[in-house]
Amino acid sequence: MVDPAKMCRRHLLGEHNEIHMLIGSISRKKNLSGFLKNHLIEPLSVKTRHDELAEEMIRRGYSHKSPIDSIPDLGYLGESSGTKVDSEKNHRELVNRCEICRLIAENN
Ligand SMILES: [Zn+2]
Ligand SMILES: [Zn+2]
């Protein structure tokens, strides 16, 4: 996954929002097969990833009022709970799509 320090405000806050929705979906045992098949999510890392994003938000002085207390039960996902995302590919897509993310990447 993309280093939160290299994401623009919009993408940092956007992914933080998405991970909360994902944790909600996992808690409600929603069907995530499309996301898993396309390697868009990494179930085992949801809490770690949330905390990384939240830490970067706090570092930048944004407010964060939504701590995650525990990892949701991944049992219903079976083996696919071990699905990984391709971090480098994600970052390449981000810098292709977003000018601000690209500027941050170039200045690092
Ligand atoms: Zn949060
Ligand atoms: Zn961006």
- Domain total in the chain: 1
Mean pLDDT of the chain: 94
Domain coverage including residue 43:
4-106
Residue 107 has a pLDDT of 87
State which residues have CB under 5 angstroms from ligand 2, the bound ion: 8, 11, 98, 100-101
Q: How far is the CA of 79 from the centre of ligand 2 (A)?
A: 32
Ligand nearest to the CA of 49: 1
What distance in Å separates the CA atoms of residue 11 and residue 100, rounded to the nearest whole number? 10
Residues 6+ apart with CB under 8 A from 73: 26, 27
**CA separation for the pair 96, 84 (Å, rounded):** 22
Query: What tens digit of pLDDT does each residue of 51-88 get?
Result: 999 999 999 999 999 999 888 899 999 999 999 998 88
Interval 8-47: pLDDT, tens: 999 999 999 999 999 999 999 999 999 999 999 999 999 9
d(CA 23, CA 13): 16
pLDDT of residue 8: 96
